[in-house]
């Protein structure tokens, strides 16, 4: 977009006046931020309108990404970057004595997600728009996002995330596009003169109101839409009977019970959660989303029997899987389609992405609960299951065992993954290894029955947020070195590889990292009053806290290093600062103990003056997108140490690689593909591989107490956890101790300990060879282009959605 500085200044001043009746001199930073956001949104509005118009008039196929989570972070700067007006605005604001960064800091993170799954959805929105693909998001406008984490005395405390406290400048409420979602009541088939029809009566109607957020493509005129639904009553905010009799709380009780549907994001990550409110949330946004898609479609005047030629719905994990039955309901009950045609349309419209093989994360809903909340949808699920099982019977005759394993309804539960698989034409895993495990283990029956359905789409990250926005020093250096074509085509980062041995370039790369580390150290000093040595190795593990991600393994290596240093304070090691950032699910005791453990170890080590500051441990409070954007550009070492076979893909690993960190990795998820792309010499791998882990699970043969008894380092560390050494009560870490010793260490922490310590020693040796280390960093950056989500989205577009980019013309 061409923007004149003087015009921008005028627009900005006018906006301050129209919004707040204020001049710059008297406006607070908050008002200046809101006015800036308002101007930027205005600049997008015409493109947004034209995008919608051209998509509709061109009958272009539309993609809808259905997700219970969108972990977006802040939008101001990424909007400025994608519109190509960041520098102009920055300069113009400076001339008015306003610091753009100050205003950017005022924006609250939209934290409508837990971790990788929600962040993936946000990266995909950015990539779809930037490739000109008509692709939109559909989700819930939670009033409260993922809780804010505070650390008090080393413990995690959860505080509500009131992200909508200030006006959300990006959203537009579209009340006229509201739809009704029906819960409860009863449903049956009635016959009238030989004609069958479905009756659904005595249901509770809930009003779903959409809030639209524009998603701007980089250097494109396409502005796609993220539509988030909010739950409201249908004209029943106040019960007048109660109100008139003075029972004011009761008078508004109903309003609050309805609004609870979109009140708060479940803080649940890979944990089963069978609460009815969660099922309500799922059906609520799925039904509202599909209704609005069908409404729009019908304006096109194309037969609904061709819906799948014009619409694709991608289901992000099983959370929106009820979409299969809801689309059937709309097509049959509301549009009068017969079952077979509706089924053909539905399965060709839906595609499902699987994100996990953790058994406890596979969603199931008790039939009783489901039937009561969604009586008509249950009838449809039953019929889908009946037809599916009869197909299974004709293929597998008397193999009841197999049919039981595959049915949708089983043992009083509805298996949502099975509904999603049966109801979709594509089922994809999110990294090569994960997809292979799905095909050969978890979903082998389905792979046998539907030989072509399961496919791989390795996850990705948007290089616009995770490099251009968050690491300006590095992206500036890259452009200075190879030109700017990598921005549109990130695969061209490969051109950096020819400079990997160039000592002048190596020095520039080293300097960028050093400067980032200095800036971050200053930020940490100012905001948290912690002193860190910017010249130490920055070793970073930031991700959700979960036993399978093995933050404990990291802690054990830190303790081992500390123990060696205590014995020999003059030990010759490069000073290292270990950073952790992680939120724990509030009801997940082991995870919360791990946070307390990290903080206890930090306080012990950071206060021990005998080790000469060679080790430091920092827990970054409230890990989220904005903190990720700050710490990742500073990392020298990326900790990707999950138990092999457990991490479906990981995307944190890709962000670090792209920013020139060296990965310490198990052969898990996309780490395997990172290794393939950089080669064995440019990554440090360790530990059991997936096959070995799976064999242990199947055949046994691992006894954690043997390691506890035979490895004095392990013995000493676990004893220190529980003997008061860390200045906490002796039973403080009982759960951790119990899991590792008495529960036989389900995630092979002790088993991989020795190999991990060796890997960390290797890191130390490599880091000492300055030139070799920089070479590794350059090779990592140069090969990170394939992990741009643009690349991932192209594969979804070509192989699943069958859609092309449609650049919008103004």
Ligand X SMILES: *Cc1c(COP(=O)(O)O)cnc(C)c1O
Report the alpha-carbon distance of residue 324 to residue 315 in Å, rounded. 10
Task: Please state whether beta strands 426-429 and 454-456 pair in parallel, antiparallel, or not at all (unpaired).
Answer: parallel
Q: Select 316 or 346, whichever has its Cβ closest to ligand X.
A: 316
Report helix, strand or coil for 559. Answer: helix
Report the alpha-carbon distance of residue 142 to residue 137 in Å, rounded. 15
- Residues in contact with ligand X, counted by CB under 6 A, come to a total of 12
We find the least distance from the C-beta atom of residue 599 to ligand X, in angstroms, to be 20
Q: Select 215 or 477, whichever has its Cβ closest to ligand X.
A: 215
Contact 506, 602 (CB under 8 A): no
Interacting positions 611-640 with ligand X (CB under 6 A) = 624-625, 628
We find the least distance from the C-beta atom of residue 303 to ligand X, in angstroms, to be 42
Q: Select 540 or 740, whichever has its Cβ closest to ligand X.
A: 540
With DSSP H G I counted as helix, E B as strand and the rest as coil, what are the percentages for the chain, rounded to 5? 55, 15, 30
Contact 205, 182 (CB under 8 A): yes
Per-residue interface string for the shown chain with ligand X, residues 719-748, x marking contact by CB under 6 A: ------------------------------
Report the alpha-carbon distance of residue 674 to residue 671 in Å, rounded. 5
Determine, following the binding rule CB under 6 A, whether residue 805 of this chain makes contact with ligand X: no
Name the segment binding ligand X (CB under 6 A); options: 141-149, 278-286, 480-488, 646-654: 646-654
Q: Select 141 or 543, whichever has its Cβ closest to ligand X.
A: 543
Report helix, strand or coil for 166. Answer: coil
Q: What angle do CA 223, 224, 225 make, to 5 degrees?
A: 125
Report the alpha-carbon distance of residue 113 to residue 602 in Å, rounded. 28
| Residue 13 annotated in active site | no
Determine, following the binding rule CB under 6 A, whether residue 429 of this chain makes contact with ligand X: no
Q: Select 119 or 439, whichever has its Cβ closest to ligand X.
A: 119
We find the least distance from the C-beta atom of residue 159 to ligand X, in angstroms, to be 17
CA trace torsion 540, 543, 546, 549 (10° rounding): -50
CB burial of 687-701 (b: ≥16 within 10 Å; e: otherwise) equals bbbbebbbeeeeeee
Determine, following the binding rule CB under 6 A, whether residue 78 of this chain makes contact with ligand X: no
> Inter-axis angle of helices 86-95 and 29-57, to 10 degrees?
150
> Judged by CB under 6 A, which of 429, 652, 660, 785 binds ligand X?
652
> Judged by CB under 6 A, which of 47, 86, 119, 355 binds ligand X?
119
Interacting positions 233-272 with ligand X (CB under 6 A) = none
Q: Which residues, listed in sequence order, are joined to residue 806 by a DSSP beta bridge? A: none
Per-residue interface string for the shown chain with ligand X, residues 372-401, x marking contact by CB under 6 A: ------------------------------
Contact partners, residue 714, CB within 8 Å, separation at least 6: 556, 707, 708, 750, 753
Read off φ and ψ for residue 638, nearest 5 degrees: -110, 120
Catalytic residue among 655, 663, 666, 685: 655
Catalytic residue among 225, 347, 594, 651: 651
Catalytic residue among 543, 614, 646, 685: 543
Q: Which residues, listed in sequence order, are joined to residue 214 by a DSSP beta bridge? A: 225
Determine, following the binding rule CB under 6 A, whether residue 116 of this chain makes contact with ligand X: yes
> Judged by CB under 6 A, which of 651, 666, 760, 792 binds ligand X?
651
Determine, following the binding rule CB under 6 A, whether residue 463 of this chain makes contact with ligand X: no
Report the alpha-carbon distance of residue 415 to residue 413 in Å, rounded. 6
Q: Select 51 or 269, whichever has its Cβ closest to ligand X.
A: 269
Q: Select 653 or 774, whichever has its Cβ closest to ligand X.
A: 653
Interacting positions 653-672 with ligand X (CB under 6 A) = 655
Read off φ and ψ for residue 428, nearest 5 degrees: -120, 145
Catalytic residue among 61, 86, 355, 463: 355
Q: Select 647 or 775, whichever has its Cβ closest to ligand X.
A: 647
Q: Select 127 or 426, whichever has its Cβ closest to ligand X.
A: 127
Which single residue brings its beta carbon nearest to ligand X? 652
We find the least distance from the C-beta atom of residue 352 to ligand X, in angstroms, to be 20
Catalytic residue among 425, 544, 596, 616: 544
**DSSP classification of residue 610:** G
**DSSP classification of residue 642:** P
Determine, following the binding rule CB under 6 A, whether residue 61 of this chain makes contact with ligand X: no
Q: Select 72 or 678, whichever has its Cβ closest to ligand X.
A: 72
Determine, following the binding rule CB under 6 A, whether residue 121 of this chain makes contact with ligand X: no
We find the least distance from the C-beta atom of residue 139 to ligand X, in angstroms, to be 17
We find the least distance from the C-beta atom of residue 124 to ligand X, in angstroms, to be 13
We find the least distance from the C-beta atom of residue 195 to ligand X, in angstroms, to be 53
| Residue 346 annotated in active site | no
Read off φ and ψ for residue 292, nearest 5 degrees: -70, -30
| Residue 549 annotated in active site | yes
Entry field: residues in the chain:
810
Determine, following the binding rule CB under 6 A, whether residue 145 of this chain makes contact with ligand X: no
We find the least distance from the C-beta atom of residue 700 to ligand X, in angstroms, to be 29
Report the alpha-carbon distance of residue 564 to residue 611 in Å, rounded. 10
Query: In this structure, how many other beta carbons lie within 10 angstroms of the beta carbon of residue 282?
Result: 24
We find the least distance from the C-beta atom of residue 123 to ligand X, in angstroms, to be 9
Q: Select 658 or 718, whichever has its Cβ closest to ligand X.
A: 658
Name the segment binding ligand X (CB under 6 A); options: 115-123, 228-236, 304-312, 735-743: 115-123
Determine, following the binding rule CB under 6 A, whether residue 593 of this chain makes contact with ligand X: no
We find the least distance from the C-beta atom of residue 650 to ligand X, in angstroms, to be 4
| Residue 655 annotated in active site | yes
Report the alpha-carbon distance of residue 505 to residue 33 in Å, rounded. 38
Name the segment binding ligand X (CB under 6 A); options: 1-9, 111-119, 186-194, 231-239: 111-119
List the end-to-end C-alpha distance of the chain, in Å, as a whole number: 11
We find the least distance from the C-beta atom of residue 641 to ligand X, in angstroms, to be 10
Q: What is the strand order of the sheet 684-685 is part of? A: 615-620, 576-581, 537-542, 637-640, 662-665, 684-685
Report helix, strand or coil for 701. Answer: coil
Determine, following the binding rule CB under 6 A, whether residue 650 of this chain makes contact with ligand X: yes
Interacting positions 536-555 with ligand X (CB under 6 A) = 543-544
Q: Select 333 or 676, whichever has its Cβ closest to ligand X.
A: 676
Query: In this structure, how many other beta carbons lie within 10 angstroms of the beta carbon of residue 712?
Result: 8
We find the least distance from the C-beta atom of residue 581 to ligand X, in angstroms, to be 8
Report the alpha-carbon distance of residue 635 to residue 656 in Å, rounded. 7
We find the least distance from the C-beta atom of residue 343 to ligand X, in angstroms, to be 36
CB burial of 549-588 (b: ≥16 within 10 Å; e: otherwise) equals bbbbbbbbbbbbbbeebeeeeeeebeebbbbbbbbbbeeb
| Residue 543 annotated in active site | yes
Q: Which residues, listed in sequence order, are joined to residue 413 by a DSSP beta bridge? A: 366, 410
Determine, following the binding rule CB under 6 A, whether residue 646 of this chain makes contact with ligand X: no
- Residue found under tokens 């359905």: 453
DSSP character string of 387-409: HHHHHHHHHHTT-HHHHHHH-SE
Q: Which of 547, 504, 706, 533 lies closest to 613 in space, CA to CA?
A: 533
**Separation of CA 425 from chain center:** 24
Name the segment binding ligand X (CB under 6 A); options: 139-147, 317-325, 524-532, 650-658: 650-658
Determine, following the binding rule CB under 6 A, whether residue 115 of this chain makes contact with ligand X: yes
Q: Select 622 or 760, whichever has its Cβ closest to ligand X.
A: 622
Please identify every residue annotated as catalytic: 355, 543-544, 549, 651, 655
Residues that bind ligand X (CB under 6 A): 115-116, 119, 543-544, 624-625, 628, 650-652, 655
């Amino acid at each position: 977009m061409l923007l004149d500085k003087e015009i921008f200044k005028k627009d900005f001043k006018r906006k301050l006046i129209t919004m707040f009746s204020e001049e710059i001199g008297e406006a607070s930073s908050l008002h200046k931020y809101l006015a800036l956001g308002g101007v930027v949104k205005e600049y997008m509005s015409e493109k947004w309108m034209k995008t919608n118009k051209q998509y509709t008039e061109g009958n272009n196929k539309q993609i809808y990404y259905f997700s219970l989570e969108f972990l977006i972070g802040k939008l101001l700067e990424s909007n400025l970057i994608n519109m190509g007006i960041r520098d102009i605005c920055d300069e113009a604001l400076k001339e008015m004595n306003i610091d753009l960064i100050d205003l950017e800091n005022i924006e609250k993170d939209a934290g409508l997600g837990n971790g990788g799954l929600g962040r993936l959805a946000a990266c995909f929105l950015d990539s779809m728009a930037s490739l000109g693909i008509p692709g939109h998001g559909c989700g819930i406008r939670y009033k409260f996002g993922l809780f804010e984490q505070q650390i008090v005395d080393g413990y995690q405390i959860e505080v509500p995330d009131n992200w909508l406290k200030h006006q959300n400048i990006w959203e537009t409420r579209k009340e006229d596009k509201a739809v009704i979602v029906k819960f409860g009541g009863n449903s049956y088939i009635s016959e009238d003169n030989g004609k069958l029809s479905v009756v659904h009566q005595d249901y509770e109607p809930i009003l779903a109101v959409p809030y639209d957020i524009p998603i701007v493509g980089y250097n494109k005129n396409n502005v796609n839409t993220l539509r988030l639904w909010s739950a409201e009553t249908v004209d029943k905010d106040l019960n007048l009977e109660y109100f008139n009799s003075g029972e004011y709380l009761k008078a508004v009780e109903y309003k609050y019970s309805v609004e609870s549907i979109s009140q708060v994001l479940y803080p649940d990550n890979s944990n089963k959660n069978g609460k009815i409110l969660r099922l309500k949330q799922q059906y609520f946004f799925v039904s509202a989303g599909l209704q609005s898609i069908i409404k729009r479609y019908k304006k096109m005047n194309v037969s609904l029997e061709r819906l799948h030629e014009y619409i694709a719905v991608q289901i992000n994990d099983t959370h929106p899987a009820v979409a299969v039955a809801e689309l059937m309901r709309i097509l049959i009950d509301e549009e009068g389609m017969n079952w077979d045609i509706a089924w053909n349309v539905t399965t060709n419209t839906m595609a499902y992405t699987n994100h996990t093989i953790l058994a406890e994360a596979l969603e199931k809903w008790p039939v009783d609960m489901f039937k009561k909340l969604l009586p008509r949808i249950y009838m449809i699920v039953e019929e889908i299951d009946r037809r599916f099982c009869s197909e299974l019977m004709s293929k597998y005759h008397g193999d009841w065992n197999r049919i039981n394993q595959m049915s949708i309804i089983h043992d009083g539960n509805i298996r949502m993954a099975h509904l999603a698989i049966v109801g979709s034409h594509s089922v994809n895993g999110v990294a090569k290894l994960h997809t292979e495990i799905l095909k050969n283990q978890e979903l082998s029956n389905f792979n046998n029955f539907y030989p072509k359905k399961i496919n791989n789409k390795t996850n990705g990250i948007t290089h616009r947020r995770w490099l251009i926005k968050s690491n300006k020093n590095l992206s500036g250096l890259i452009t200075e070195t190879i030109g700017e074509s990598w921005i549109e085509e990130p695969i061209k980062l490969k051109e950096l590889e020819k400079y990997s041995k160039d000592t002048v370039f190596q020095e520039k790369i080293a300097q960028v990292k050093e400067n980032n580390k200095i800036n971050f150290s200053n930020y940490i000093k100012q905001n948290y009053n912690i002193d860190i040595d910017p010249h130490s190795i920055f070793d970073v593990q930031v991700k959700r806290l979960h036993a399978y991600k093995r933050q404990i393994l990291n802690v054990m290596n830190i303790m081992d290093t500390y123990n060696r240093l205590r014995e020999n304070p003059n030990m010759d090691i490069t000073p290292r600062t270990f950073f952790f950032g992680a939120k724990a699910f509030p009801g997940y005791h082991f995870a919360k103990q791990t946070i307390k453990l990290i903080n206890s170890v930090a306080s012990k080590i950071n206060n021990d003056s005998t080790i000469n500051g060679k080790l430091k441990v920092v827990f970054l409070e409230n890990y989220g997108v904005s903190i990720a954007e700050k710490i990742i550009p500073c990392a020298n070492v990326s900790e990707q140490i999950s138990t092999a076979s457990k991490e479906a893909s990981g995307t944190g690993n890709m962000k670090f690689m792209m920013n020139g960190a060296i990965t310490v990795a198990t052969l898990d998820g996309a780490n395997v593909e990172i290794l393939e792309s950089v080669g064995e010499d440019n990554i440090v791998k360790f530990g059991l591989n997936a096959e070995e882990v799976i064999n242990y699970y199947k055949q046994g043969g691992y006894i954690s107490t043997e390691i506890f008894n035979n490895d004095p380092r392990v013995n000493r560390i676990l004893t220190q956890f529980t003997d008061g050494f860390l200045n906490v009560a002796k039973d403080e870490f009982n759960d951790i101790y119990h899991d590792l010793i008495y529960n036989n260490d389900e995630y092979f922490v002790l088993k991989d300990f020795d190999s991990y310590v060796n890997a960390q020693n290797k890191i130390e040796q490599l880091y000492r060879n300055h030139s070799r280390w920089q070479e590794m960093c350059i090779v990592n950056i140069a090969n990170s282009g394939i992990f741009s989500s643009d690349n991932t989205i192209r594969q979804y577009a070509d192989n699943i959605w069958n859609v092309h980019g449609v650049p919008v013309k103004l």
